[in-house]
């Protein structure tokens, strides 16, 4: 009986390894996607459906459509996203994640799909803070594990307060507990447009590119994602998704020549 049990366990282990090998060998049918659904307009939970939506979500769904994969969206905190990826909780991570040397040492990134940068936001009534140099001695909110947090911690004299999601930092500033928030431009702009309680001061403080993260040496998956991104660039679907969420054309480096209508592409 003991030998039979051992044989069954070994067989099951081989079956599990076989299914993972099958996914790695190009026979993938499901793509498990890690994302932090607290960062509009890139990823957030829809108030209508209760499901994740946003620019990143549409982007990864389009990639899956091109590759005939079924996306399985897994919501996870941003600061634990890379550990979750390396521990195989999901196959890729897409969450407005800036490509940095530190992250690229742990995971591999797709070709860049978005150009962003950090900005400082302050309450509408503030007249003293005009740029990042004026943050000395001030209380500044950031999101945990982000490049905004890193920049704030490198700025002399700043008292940094880190939050699990950037919305909580803006709310704390609205409540008078913070002097400023340091965060990516598009998400900051989206919050300001929705709430009208803050303003951006100074210019864009950095040039940052977002990428889709995969596990180190998962070369086939990385190549397939890059191939799909190139297809989106050329068929106009990237531009259509960009226009949908940002209401402005994307930078020229992210688009190619197409005669397709954006509305048609989004319905495919």
- Asked if 53 and 126 sit in the same domain, the reply is no
- Asked if 110 and 125 sit in the same domain, the reply is no
Residue 14 lies in a domain: no
Residue 3 lies in a domain: no
Q: How far is CA 33 from CA 12, 57, 81, 94, 210, in A?
A: 25, 9, 10, 7, 16
Give yes or no for a cis peptide into 125 (omega within 30° of 0).
Answer: no
Residues 53-100: pLDDT tens digits? 999 999 999 999 999 999 999 999 999 999 999 999 999 999 999 999
Residues 168-206: pLDDT tens digits? 999 999 999 999 999 999 999 989 998 999 999 999 999
Residue 181 lies in a domain: yes
- Asked if 188 and 226 sit in the same domain, the reply is no
Spatial distance between the Cα atoms of 96 and 122, rounded to a whole number of angstroms? 22
- Asked if 189 and 111 sit in the same domain, the reply is no
Residue 190 lies in a domain: yes
How many domains does the structure of the chain reveal?
2
Residue 156 lies in a domain: yes
- Asked if 198 and 225 sit in the same domain, the reply is no
- Cα–Cα nearest to 73, from 118, 25, 35: 35
Residues 155-172: pLDDT tens digits? 999 999 999 999 999 999
- Asked if 44 and 158 sit in the same domain, the reply is no
- Asked if 194 and 132 sit in the same domain, the reply is yes
Query: What is the pLDDT at residue 154?
Result: 95
State the pTM of this model. Answer: 0.79
Look up tokens 């209401």; give the residue.
247
Residue 76 lies in a domain: yes
Query: What is the pLDDT at residue 257?
Result: 64
Q: CA neighbours within 13 Å on the CB side: how many for 127?
A: 1
- Asked if 201 and 88 sit in the same domain, the reply is no
CB atoms within 10 A of CB 257: 7
Q: What is the mean pLDDT of residues 22-38?
A: 80
Query: What is the pLDDT at residue 258?
Result: 52
- Asked if 152 and 85 sit in the same domain, the reply is no
Q: What is the mean pLDDT of residues 128-143?
A: 97
- Asked if 245 and 188 sit in the same domain, the reply is no
Residue 2 lies in a domain: no
- Asked if 109 and 123 sit in the same domain, the reply is no
Residue 161 lies in a domain: yes
CATH of the domain at 84: 3.40.190.10
CB atoms within 10 A of CB 136: 11
Q: What is the DSSP letter of 253?
A: G
- Asked if 106 and 228 sit in the same domain, the reply is yes
Range of the domain at 43: 28-115+210-267
Which residue among 206, 222, 243 closes a domain? 206
Which residue among 161, 181, 206 closes a domain? 206
Which residue among 206, 234, 249 closes a domain? 206
**Cβ distance 237 to 214 under 8 Å?**
no
Spatial distance between the Cα atoms of 151 and 206, rounded to a whole number of angstroms? 9
């Amino acid at each position: 009986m003991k030998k039979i049990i051992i044989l069954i366990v070994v067989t099951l282990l081989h079956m599990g390894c076989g299914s993972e090998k099958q996914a790695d060998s190009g026979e993938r049918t499901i793509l498990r996607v890690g994302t932090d659904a607290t960062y509009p307009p890139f990823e957030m939970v829809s108030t209508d459906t209760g499901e994740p939506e946003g620019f990143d979500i549409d982007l990864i769904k389009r990639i899956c459509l091109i590759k005939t994969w079924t996306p399985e969206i897994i919501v996870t905190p941003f600061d634990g996203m890379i550990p979750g990826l390396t521990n195989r909780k999901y196959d890729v991570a897409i969450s407005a994640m800036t490509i940095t040397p530190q992250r690229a040492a742990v995971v591999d990134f797709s070709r860049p799909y978005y150009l962003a940068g950090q900005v400082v936001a302050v309450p509408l009534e503030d007249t003293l803070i005009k740029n990042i140099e004026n943050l000395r001695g001030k209380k500044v909110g950031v999101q945990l594990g982000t490049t905004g947090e890193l920049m704030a911690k490198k700025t002399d004299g700043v008292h940094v307060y880190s939050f699990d999601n950037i919305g909580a930092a803006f709310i704390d500033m609205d409540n008078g507990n913070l002097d400023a928030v340091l965060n990516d431009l598009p998400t900051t702009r989206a919050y300001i447009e929705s709430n009208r309680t803050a303003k951006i001061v100074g210019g864009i403080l950095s040039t940052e590119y977002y990428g889709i993260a995969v596990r180190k040496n998962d070369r086939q998956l990385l190549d397939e994602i890059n191939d799909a991104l190139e297809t989106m660039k050329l068929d106009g679907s990237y531009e259509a998704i960009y226009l949908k969420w940002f209401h402005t054309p994307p930078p020229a480096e992210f688009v190619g020549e197409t005669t397709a209508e954006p509305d048609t592409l989004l319905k495919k």
